[in-house]
Amino acid sequence: MLSQAAERYIRLRRIGGFKFDVPSTLVRSFVRFATARGDTHIQTQTVIDWASQSPSPAAREVRLQVIIAFARHCRAEDVVHEVPQPGVFGKGYSRSPIAYIFSPEEIDRLLAGALELTPKASLRPYMFHTLFGLLAATGLRIGEALRLQFEDLTPDGLLIRESKFRKSRLLPLHPTTIQGLQRYIKLRTIIGGNDGHLFVGLDGRRVRSATAQVVFREVATAVGLGAGHYGRRPRLHDLRHTWAVRALESSPREVGQIDRHMRAVTTYLGHAKVASGYWYLHATPFLMKRIADACAAREQEEP
């Protein structure tokens, strides 16, 4: 049965360390679609018809790629399963979007704008003010921040439990960040309800990522950041990119210290490997100039 194969596949991927939330949803959606057609094995035309339900070519190709991986897994045990060819709907996204790097003044405007949210006499403005501030100060992923509970703020730092690749880490916090969280927690304890999560909505339940994204765009537009720079509109995730870039900009110039600095930044961000941190090196003229200067110095050393 396709449904049994799907559950085995999803379980295997999660055992391998992947959260696999979105792909698992897509795999189960496809299986329901195929089963309704009476399919007992993966068929290429069924995959294409299912993927075609997405509104854009890029989204269709993402769907297709997810089921291609699932089909390869199934075919290893039963060759009756067909493996569709990639690229049916185009190449999809060939590169990650260019990050929007906030200036300190823009972050100040964003946090001030969050305090203007309504209802004014509620926890909501202070909650989003603290949430956005925490993301800017720590480079957390939005999902990591929204999963935080009261006990995760420890004397040694912020405990991030089983994040990407099911790894946990402890983040040291700047004293001003700790003070900001403590002020918010006092208010949250009084008027935020009984849910154990730090960041809750007006209904007293944990804020969803989609809600935070919508509110971020609302605030960014209200404070004049909606248009962005050179066609790059700021995203909530760009607060993480900004933290990483500023951390890399502060790197020492000695080779040995750079290596230690990169490892520290990688660990703090929760990346699985150091190479993931190097993606941020292209992000600002400051970093590009340092790279160019280093390359020029190296060339002059060559015999």
14 is catalytic: no
Catalytic residue list contains 230: no
Angle, vertex CA 110, rays to CA 109 and CA 114, nearest 5: 115
* Dist. CA 22–CA 7, nearest whole Å: 14
271 is catalytic: yes
Catalytic residue among 129, 141, 147, 235: 141
Catalytic one among 240, 241, 246, 268?
240
141 is catalytic: yes
CB neighbour list of residue 302: distance below 8 Å, 6 or more residues apart: none
Which secondary structure element, helix H or strand E, spans residue 257, and what is its range? helix 255-269
The most distant pair of C-alpha atoms in the chain lies apart, rounded to whole Å, by 70
Mark whether 174 is an active-site residue. no
From 19, 161, 237, 261, the catalytic residue: 237
Which contacts qualify for 290-299: CB closer than 8 Å, 24 or more apart?
A: 290/253
**Peptide linkage before 119 cis (omega within 30 of 0):** yes
11 is catalytic: no
Q: How far apart are CA 81 and CA 41, in angstroms?
A: 5
Name the residues annotated as catalytic: 141, 164, 237, 240, 271, 280
